[in-house]
Structure formats: structure tokens, C-alpha cells
Amino acid sequence: MIQVENLTKRYGQHTAIDSLNFTVESGEVLGFLGPNGAGKSTTMNILTGYISTTEGRALVNGVDILEEPETVKKMIGYLPEFPPLYGDMTVNEYLDFVCDIKGLSKSEKKQSQEKIMDLVRIGDVQKRLIRNLSKGYKQRVGLAQALVGNPKVLILDEPTVGLDPKQIIEIRNLISNLGKDHTIILSSHILSEVSEVCERVIIINKGKIVASDTPENLSKGLDDGSKMIVRVAGPEKQALKVIKEIHGVKLAELQGSKEKGTVDIIVESVPEIDIRKPLFYAMSKASYPILMLKSMGLTLEDIFLQVTNQETEVR
């Protein structure tokens, strides 16, 4: 559905994005991630036809966005981080306005508006001024305008920014449902959200793609399997002491108790040493039964920090 070939954008001596190549298949929900200044917004602005490229091209359903911008824009619905809302309009008036801009006929307009308002659940506020709506409802109205004309592609930039936890879950569920009928590119700093919604992620840093795969495959590729959590039935200090004395253990930390009479301990080993058998024998000898042993795969946050070499905290 979307094909990006050698996409490059320069501003004077600064290269915002550098020879990007990727595809997004029809019906796929893609997470597009990167630290601030990595080139995410530049890429999305090119895909939506807002700015031009310096080199390379972007195709939507085989159509070059620079050669046939009107055709491509009809295929794309865009929700920017700050939705382009008009506070002095009611929700109905605003969606009427968007329908007119997108060239919908009167019959299409009514049918489209009713369907979209039902989908994003804004029918109960359709006669209210937008400026009087809550942040969550404004975000829903922004998503509604992106859906006008039933575009095949949705590009969503930080769709849950500023929302409370309940609103985040509602918008996340809505995006999951939209993914059944649309191709979606989702940019977000809330990495748990991306893990929940997206089938594949692309991570960009300093204008270049540094990772592209499913979250599961990225975790497998970067994780050496050296960190695990073990639940032991026994006294915490003594159990911790036994584990620390096992050959190959690099780090052991108490994590508290989840069950009465047990302790959870995070154990990290030297990558080339498998400590599972020595751990079993040591605990058995000390008469501290192992009730749980689980590998701790990398989270999307861990992957993001590794591939972008970021030391700052990710929300």
C-alpha cells in the first residue's frame, strides 16, 4: 500500500531524513518510532503531501504523491499531534466543512458523518461547540476528520497525547478496530501503546532507520537471554546469597514477595553461560524449591533505548 524509496529531505546543510526505504502492506498497523528530532514528523509530512522531498519518492497504492498529490491525498486520512480544529464550530459544522473540502456529495456527506460519529462515539456532542469539549472528545473529533471520505490509509501522530488513562484505552481500542479495514501508520512516544496496537515497528534515529521488525522479533534479536526472574520458596537473604555464589551469575537483585513464604529474584548471568541447571542444583541443595523461572525478554522501551543509544527516560 505504501512504498518509500530512498526518501531524503535536507534543510540547507541539515539532513532531516537520509535515504529511507520501507513498505507498509495493505491492512498493516505500523508503529513509527524515534526520539525527538529523529525525522518522524518530516517523514509523515512527506507522506501526507505537506512537504516535498529532496530525493527519492513515496508511493501510495502505486501513485507518486508528488506527481499526483490530489489522488494520493484522497487515500490518506491524517491526524496530526495537534488536530486542526475550529473552536467556534460545532462538531457537525466542522465535519460538514471537512466533507466539503474532501469533495463529498450531499448524500455521501450525511451517510459518512453518521457512520464516523458512531464509530468514534461523538454523536452525543455533535451539536456542541468544539472549544467546549474535553481533550478526549477533541481528539475523537480530530480522528473523525481523518476518517472523512473513508481513506485507505490513516497516519496518526501521537493520537493519545494529553489523554487520561481511560481515554487512552478507548482511543487505543478504536485504533485496533480501525486496523481491520485500514492501513495505519502510528507515531507515539507511549511505547506500551505501540506494543499493544502495532504488528510491526520501524525505529528511526538521526534520519536513518535503525530497526524494523515485529516487537517480538526485535526482542529476540537483541536479547541474549541472560536475564530471568526466579521465584524461590525460602528466606530472601539466604536464597539471594546462594544465587550470588553460582558461577556465571553477574547480578542478583531482590524483587519482593508475590506469594507468602517466597521471594522473587532477578538474576542476570554472563551471556555465554547458561545458569539454569546450576541454579536448579543450588536451590535443590539448599532446600529452596524453585516455583517459577521466567526469561525476561526485552520490552519495546528496552529495544528503543538500545537501538537509539538513548539514556533519557522514555515515557
pLDDT digits 0-9 by tens, 162-219: 778 887 888 888 888 888 889 999 988 777 778 888 889 999 999 999 988 887 777 6
The Cα–Cα gap between 9 and 51 comes to 9
Q: What is the CATH number of the domain that holds 243?
A: 3.30.70.260
Residue 110 lies in a domain: yes
Q: Using 50, 70 and 90 to split pLDDT, how confident is the model at 119?
A: confident
Of 221, 236, 261, which marks where a domain is finished? 221
**How many CB atoms are closer than 10 A to CB 248?**
15
Residue with the larger pLDDT of the pair 121 and 224: 121
| 36 and 154 both lie in a single domain | yes
Residue with the larger pLDDT of the pair 151 and 308: 151
When divided into structural domains, the chain yields a total of 2
Taking each continuous run of H as one helix and of E as one strand, the counts in the chain are: 11, 14
The Cα–Cα gap between 159 and 178 comes to 13
Mean pLDDT is lowest, of 172-176, 179-183, 252-256, 308-312, for 308-312
Residue with the larger pLDDT of the pair 232 and 84: 232
Question: Average pLDDT of 84-106?
Answer: 92
CA-to-CA separations, 174 to 79, 296, 315, in angstroms, rounded: 14, 30, 22
Q: The whole model's pTM is what?
A: 0.74
Q: What is the CATH number of the domain that holds 10?
A: 3.40.50.300
pLDDT over threshold 50, residue 315:
no
| 208 and 228 both lie in a single domain | no
Mean pLDDT is lowest, of 9-13, 23-27, 207-211, 219-223, for 219-223
The string of pLDDT tens digits covering residues 262-305 is 999 999 888 788 899 999 999 999 999 999 998 776 667 777 77
Residue 301 lies in a domain: no
| 292 and 254 both lie in a single domain | yes
**Domain assignment of residue 262, given as a range:** 224-296
Of 203, 221, 239, which marks where a domain is finished? 221
Residue 307 lies in a domain: no
Residue 305 lies in a domain: no
